[in-house]
Amino acid sequence: MTVTAASGVDKLALLAGTFGGLASDELTELAGLTKVGRYPAGHVLCQEDAHEDIFYILASGEAVITKQISDAEGERVLRRVGVGDYVGEMALIQNAPRAATVRTVSECTVLEIGKQDFEAMLSRSPRLAISIIRTTLSRMRVNDQMAIGDLQRTNRVLAQLDRNKLEFIQVAAHELRTPLTVMKGYLNVIKSDERLPAGGLLAEALAGLSRGTERLQEVVNAMLDVARIDADMAAGPRFAVVPVPLKSMVNDLVRRLESDAEGRQLRIDIEHARDTPALNADPTLIQKALYQVLINAIKYTPDGGRILVRTRPVQLDRGVPGAEISVRDTGIGLAPEHQELIFEKFYQVGSVDLHSSHKTMFRGGGPGLGLAIARGAVRAHGGRIWVESLGHDEANCPGSTFYLHLPVDPPHVRA
Ligand code: ADP
């Protein structure tokens, strides 16, 4: 008779059901190491993150395994466990804190084994070890499947949110474009009127209005660009590819920005490798990408800093020949947590309150579309853009380096 009179638990029958294939002497030895515990509903058998050293086998009742996702999202139920299931083995085997919380949902009777006894038993009984490994691995597979399912659902939601963002940009850009054209038209009419006195308050006000409408036009253009590039990516790139002399394109762009840079005592140097290849690409898109990165290098570098633009040949994935353009600045740098997100539409680092919308002023933020345009343009060519920086520090200015990798031939024209 194996039922312990005091506890009413048939340890041998329970253990035989839980660990199939154990010999009777192994079952007897294991049963001898366990003690019976009884807990009311709501009792925590294992506490996530705690260092605890008991392994439990449920003899009656039910418990639930949960994991804390975040403060905002609370906890997530991983699994419910019942008679014959065991919990708490992973932390014991790994010598690690508990990976999840196990809480009883009804009154429970459990068999408990301490860490030392559990380890001794595992080393004596390979059959027990294998049974536990099998169960644990299959649970991990189920958890993996659950996590993958969650990720797929989240990705679908994110893709929908991204589409909503794009639709908003398209609608807003078109709504802004019409009144902007009207404003610019009237401004031109007033400015060309000969009765307008030279100098004075009115001329100053008109100059201010012109600057304002120009800036607004740039923002609307950025919105249209990002909408167009995203729409093209969804429909498959449709741009015309022509030979682009990369080195001279870089030189021309830098020359165009030199007066802005000089106004801020910034030096821009260029270094081309002798064998930087020319690209087959859409020159307008490549220029847009590089322009955004250069403007940012100017904006996020304090007066007196230095910007270095380099080009060189590189081998991309699978040995595809390509070119690298890098833009290194001595600016405020970027913290690691922002280094991927800055390429998302409307993403900005820091407080919007500090926002000034001047194009090249130090820290003169824009609408947060520049790098989304750059990434869209680079990706449309089958390329990659990323940033490296030691972190954000406005006092010591660690700087940032943006890298653009572009194939010599975009994938849809490659043989
Ligand atoms: P914005 O219109 O705000 O400049 P971008 O998409 O061009 O938008 O850039 C997104 C954010 O990335 C910026 O708000 C800025 O915080 C950060 N950033 C971009 N370039 C740099 C740089 N060279 N150094 C430091 N921060 C940068």
Asked if residues 61 and 109 have their Cβ atoms less than 8 Å apart, the reply is yes
Distance of alpha carbon 227 from alpha carbon 365, whole angstroms: 20
Is 180 found in the same domain as 326? no
What are the backbone angles phi and psi of residue 75, rounded to the nearest 5°? -105, 160
Ligand 1 centre to CA of 387 (Å) is: 11
Ligand 1 centre to CA of 150 (Å) is: 31
Closest to 327 (Cα-Cα) out of 293, 354, 355: 293
Ligand 1 centre to CA of 355 (Å) is: 12
Residue 368 CB–ligand 1 contact under 6 Å: yes
Is 171 found in the same domain as 25? no
Domain range holding 17?
A: 11-124
Is 350 found in the same domain as 231? no
The answer, yes or no, to whether residue 351 has pLDDT greater than 80, is no
Asked if residues 342 and 349 have their Cβ atoms less than 8 Å apart, the reply is yes
* Residue at which a domain ends, from 216, 235, 254: 235
State which ligand 1 atom lies nearest to the alpha carbon of 332.
25
State which ligand 1 atom lies nearest to the alpha carbon of 349.
16
CATH of the domain at 335: 3.30.565.10
Residue 305 CB–ligand 1 contact under 6 Å: no
How many other CB atoms are there within 10 angstroms of residue 217's CB atom?
16
Is 140 part of any domain? Answer: no
Is 211 found in the same domain as 80? no
Report the pLDDT value the prediction gives residue 119, as an integer from 0 to 100.
Answer: 92
Count of structural domains within the chain: 3
Is 294 found in the same domain as 231? no
Report the pLDDT value the prediction gives residue 247, as an integer from 0 to 100.
Answer: 97
Q: Which residues pair with 385 in a beta bridge?
A: 404
Q: Which residue has the higher pLDDT, 262 or 365?
A: 262
Asked if residues 40 and 94 have their Cβ atoms less than 8 Å apart, the reply is no
What are the backbone angles phi and psi of residue 80, rounded to the nearest 5°? -110, 145
- Taking CA atoms only, the protein residue closest to ligand 1 atom 25 is 333
Report the pLDDT value the prediction gives residue 61, as an integer from 0 to 100.
Answer: 97
Closest to 134 (Cα-Cα) out of 89, 80, 181: 89
The DSSP 8-state label assigned to residue 10 in this structure reads: B
Report the pLDDT value the prediction gives residue 246, as an integer from 0 to 100.
Answer: 97
Is 197 found in the same domain as 51? no
Is 28 found in the same domain as 162? no
Is 217 found in the same domain as 243? no
Is 130 part of any domain? Answer: no
The answer, yes or no, to whether residue 221 has pLDDT greater than 80, is yes
The answer, yes or no, to whether residue 209 has pLDDT greater than 90, is yes
Q: Does an H or E element contain 103, and which? A: strand 101-104
The answer, yes or no, to whether residue 53 has pLDDT greater than 70, is yes
Helix (H, G, I), strand (E, B) or coil at 109: strand
Report the pLDDT value the prediction gives residue 2, as an integer from 0 to 100.
Answer: 46
110-161 pLDDT, tens digit per residue, is 999 999 999 999 999 999 999 999 999 998 999 899 989 999 999 999 999 9
Asked if residues 298 and 307 have their Cβ atoms less than 8 Å apart, the reply is yes
Helix (H, G, I), strand (E, B) or coil at 3: strand
Where residue 372 falls among pLDDT bands split at 50, 70, 90?
very high
CATH of the domain at 111: 2.60.120.10
CB proximity list for 6: less than 8 A, separation 6 or greater: 36
Provide mean pLDDT across the span 219-227. Answer: 91
